[in-house]
Amino acid sequence: MHTHNLGAWSHDHTFDSGNLAGERSTRAVMWITVVMMVVEIAAGWWYNSMALLADGFHMSSHAVAIGLSAFAYASARRLAGDSRFAFGTWKIEVLAGFASAIFLLVIVALMVVGSVERLFSPAPIHYLEAIIIAAVGSVVNIVSALILGAAHHEGHGDHPHEEHHGHHGHEHHHDMNLQSAYVHVIADAATSLLAIFALVGGWMYGWAWLDPVAGIAGAVVVALWAKRLITDTGKVLLDREMDHPVVDEIRQAVKEAGHQSETTIADLHVWRVGKANYSCAISLVTHDKGLTPGKVKGWLSQHEEIVHSTIEIHCCEVMHAH
């Protein structure tokens, strides 16, 4: 049995315009959120409104989380040339997204506790002031979402092959760090809208219970978003990508190209090393003595997202019966 090995890897983490747009956008949204947070806390103290104070401190947690996303972009860019990162620094951004999602669940817990406490121990609410500030906060969140959404679309423009693979059922390759910041902004927008609805109902009809109920409903929605973000980022951090369509495409490419030489896959591992980039380690068994790792790389070349491949070939002697 003869064995050949080949590994090829371009180490540099590509910090493209999509990453730069994400960094700029998250930094801008962070400062917008900080300004709105200060306004809400100051207004809550001035009008003696616990609702505004609570929303202000709630927004402060989002400012920290979005700041974490901006910090991740800066760290990934600064450490892009560090050779200690075997596959580049992209997972710094994924790690930030995961941490941000965990932080979001902490916010959910605080929202539920505060809402339940308010449900059983109602407090006077300065409805008019609270509605005005909540409306301003909602507008700020919509503007922030538009900023992050524009950065998301700009990032997709850097990967033209994504559209090509979309015809094969591939999912879009999201920037999970940007996605985590976007989730925080949308969560804020959703809770602001729920707060406006509850405050208007309480002001017009005296339904004070609407405020804490809306808080609980908002917490449930935010928890569902956080769960999805944890699942998406956790898959990447744990290298759980063997259910991705590219895995079946690799198997199919080997099956079609290696049919005549009875080349089969003995072992295959695929994991993500970038937003739209994957690495694979593949072990093949074949009767073709002329098969080389270079030829196998040719079989896989149609899949541009495979940027690093380690190929092992076991050549078995063909036994002839006499």
For residue 228, give the CATH number of its domain.
1.20.1510.10
Boundary-marking domain end, from 185, 206, 237: 237
Boundary-marking domain end, from 207, 237, 267: 237
Of 16-30, 42-56, 215-229, the one with minimum mean pLDDT is: 42-56
- On the question of pLDDT at 27 being above 60, the answer is yes
Range 149-179 burial, b when 16+ CB lie within 10 A, else e:
eebbebbbebbeebeebeeeebeebbbbbbb
Question: Has residue 2 been placed in a domain?
Answer: no
Residues 21 and 163 in one domain: yes
Q: How many domains does the chain have?
A: 2
Boundary-marking domain end, from 215, 237, 259: 237
Residues 138 and 225 in one domain: yes
Residues 159 and 261 in one domain: no
Residues 192 and 287 in one domain: no
Residues 39 and 161 in one domain: yes
Amino acid 254: pLDDT: 92
Question: Has residue 3 been placed in a domain?
Answer: no
8-to-90, 251, 293 alpha-carbon distances in Å: 19, 20, 10
115 is written with which tokens? 């809402």
Secondary structure letter of residue 85 according to DSSP: S
Amino acid 177: pLDDT: 66
- On the question of pLDDT at 199 being above 70, the answer is yes
Residues 76 and 127 in one domain: yes
Position 312 confidence tier, pLDDT thresholds 50, 70, 90? very high
Residues 51 and 124 in one domain: yes
Secondary structure letter of residue 315 according to DSSP: E
Residues 274 and 189 in one domain: no
Digit-coded pLDDT (tens) for 114-172:
788 878 887 777 788 778 877 888 888 888 888 877 765 555 554 444 434 433 434 44
Amino acid 266: pLDDT: 92
Asked if residues 10 and 86 have their Cβ atoms less than 8 Å apart, the reply is no
Question: Has residue 9 been placed in a domain?
Answer: no
272/238 Cα distance (integer angstroms): 10
List the domain range (segments joined by +) for residue 289.
243-315
Angle between helical axes of 176-205 and 50-78 (0-180°, round to 10): 170
16 is written with which tokens? 């493209």
